[in-house]
Each structure stands twice: as C-alpha cells, then as structure tokens.
Amino acid sequence: MAADAEQGEGVKVVPRMKLGSQGLEVSAQGLGCMGMSAFYGPPKPDADMITLIHHAVHSGVTFLDTSDIYGPHTNEILLAKALKGGVKERVELATKFGITFVDGKIEVRGEPAHVRASCEASLKRLHLDCIHLYYQHCVDTRLPIEVTMGELKKLVEEGKIKYIGLSEASASTIRRAHAVHPISAVQLEWSLWSRDVEEHVIPTCRELGIGIVAYSPLGRGFLSSGPKLVENFSNDDYRKYLPRFQAENLEHNKKLYEKIVEIAEKKGCSPSQLALAWVHHQGNDVCPIPGTTKIENLNQNMGALSVKLTPKDMAELGEIGSGDSVKGDRYSPGTRTWKNSDTPPLSTWKDV
C-alpha cells in the first residue's frame, strides 16, 4: 500500500506512487470520470462535475481517467473545461481509444490509422499537446497486437503521448505488446467481487514491471450500497443489464455485501472504504480509480487510504470474495474482455 494519507487543514492529502517502470508517477488513488457523462444514467451538470474535479485535484487526487467512448466524446470535453486555468499542469490524465459505436453496435478497432486519428481527436478535445497515459480500451483481435503497438510507439516518439497502457488484455497479449514498447499500466477490473485477473494477468504485470490500475474497485457501486443500489438505477443505466445485478443473482450476491458491512463495522469504516482498502493493500503497484459524481463520496473514498488491514483482515476479506461467493459474469455474453483478447501471430499478418 502507498504511504499513509495525512490530514491537513481539513483536506486529506493523497500520497503519490510510481505506476510502471518508465517514470510515470500518479496519485495513489485516481478518479474514474465515466459516470459523470455516460453509462450510469443521465449526464450530470457540467458545473457540478467541474467543482468535483477541482476538489479532487486540490485534495491530491490528480490521476484522472476518461475515454473517447464516454459520451461519446463528452467526458473528454468536460475534462478540458475542468482543466483550464493551470489545473491541467497539476494532473496526470489518462484516456483511451479503440471502442466505437457504429449503427448502434460496438466495434473494437486497433488498426494504425484509427489509433492515430483517435489520438489526434482526443488531443484536440482535451486541449492538450501530449496525453500522459494512452490506453487501448479493448484489444482488436482481428490484427496482431504488435500492429497496434507499433503505431502507439510512433505516437510516443512524436511526443503526442507519454506512456502506453492496455485495458482488458490477457497475459499473452500484454507480454507481446510489452516487447514492442514498454507498457506502463494495465487497466483491469479488480475488486472483492472481481478476482479473475489474479491467476495470470496480475503476475504477468508484476513480472514485467507494469503498473496495475483497478477500475470498478467498488463493484460499480454494489460494494458501497449493496442490493438497494439497483432500486435507484435509471432506465439508461447500463448496470441494469449486467448479469450480477439481475434478480436471480442479486439475492446471492447480497451475502457478500452483508459480510463486508459486518467487517467494516468492526474496523470503524464504511463498506466502500473497506472494499477500497482491500485493493490498496494488494501492493504498491496498484492504483484504484473509483468513480463518483458526489464530493462526499470522493472524500469517503480518500479515507480508504487511512484504513489499516492486518494480514488476518486480508485473509478474511479474500475468503468472502473467493470461489462461488459471486453469481453472474462481469459483463453480458459477447463483451470483449481479457479472456477473449488474444490476437493472431504477427507472422500471419500481410499488411506489415
């Protein structure tokens, strides 16, 4: 876990950490910005979200995570507004490319022309000369990962991006990509109810010196609020359609939340702080990026950095989130994840 957070003038100070082996340094906890603009119900008012982002940066949460698909595009535009007036000099901004909507359907793209066009468009929307961390959001399995990485390497050499990341990539894909150009961070879902990356993906990242960015560390809100969260989903909240939030799975998954609540009460913290602290305690190479649209939740999330977990606590928490404690897949069938992210061998590619 990163160095302890300190208290100063009523504002928690978030420590810094190294992410990967190429020199990227970020706040030990980041801020996922997706829910401000997309997927978790209607977009929130820009003015409120800008206030939230400014509060985060002032508090030391300077690692901001977005993507060109959030909106699409509107979340990057929101961040550009929030980062005016010298704020952008204080942040580490990560964005992503590779997922597009075509005629209402999702397409995953990683061909060089799309990589370059996406980067140029994000730079323009964000009003930046260089993106700190540029992720491939989803692996395009139609072409070798080396082809996509080759173009990303060119963008680094041209000064348009500083560090390269992958998201939802398998161990073998990470290894092949890293051989083309060092990967600084891999973004993956990791929480008390999402443990599937622990067997192969996490060890590969650690072997190669790649930082780990944990998205949805609060189980898309379930580990904070439990089953009652579902009652407040709006019609356009896509969590309504995820398997774990379906009625047939929710009753079973409630048991996991109840155990988290029980342990949190003993530790004198909230369930969300306990769940986040579990992620922080996975190691100094792990940076969770919980998202929120409320300042009070942001403050509570920062408090997770001060929660101390003993080896016994970690064992108890690890046990309740293991095995068949969770019912339902992370995503609906057909969604691209690390499990189906392997790409063809470079030797089979005709266009190189």
Amino acid at 75: N
3-state secondary structure of 280: helix
What are the DSSP E strand ranges found in the chain?
Answer: 6-8, 11-13, 16-18, 25-27, 31-32, 63-65, 92-97, 99-102, 105-108, 131-136, 161-167, 185-189, 211-215, 286-288
Closest CA to 287 of 299, 279, 297: 279
Report how far residue 325's alpha carbon sits from residue 255's, in angstroms, rounded to the nearest whole number.
8
The phi-psi region of residue 43 (left if phi > 0; otherwise alpha if psi is between -120 and 50; otherwise beta) is beta
Is 70 labeled as catalytic in the residue annotation? yes
Strand (E) or helix (H) holding 77: helix 74-82
Report how far residue 192's alpha carbon sits from residue 238's, in angstroms, rounded to the nearest whole number.
21
- Facing residues of 13 across strands? 6
40, 70, 135, 215: which one is catalytic? 70
Closest CA to 95 of 108, 110, 79: 79
3-state secondary structure of 292: coil
Report how far residue 298's alpha carbon sits from residue 292's, in angstroms, rounded to the nearest whole number.
6
Amino acid at 68: D
Q: Residue length, the chain? A: 352
DSSP string, 6-33: EEETTEEEPPEEE-SSSS-EEESS-EE-
Residues 6+ apart with CB under 8 A from 94: 30, 63, 64, 65, 66, 131, 132, 133, 134, 135, 165, 185, 213
CB contact at 8 A, 64 and 99: no
Which of the residues are catalytic? 70
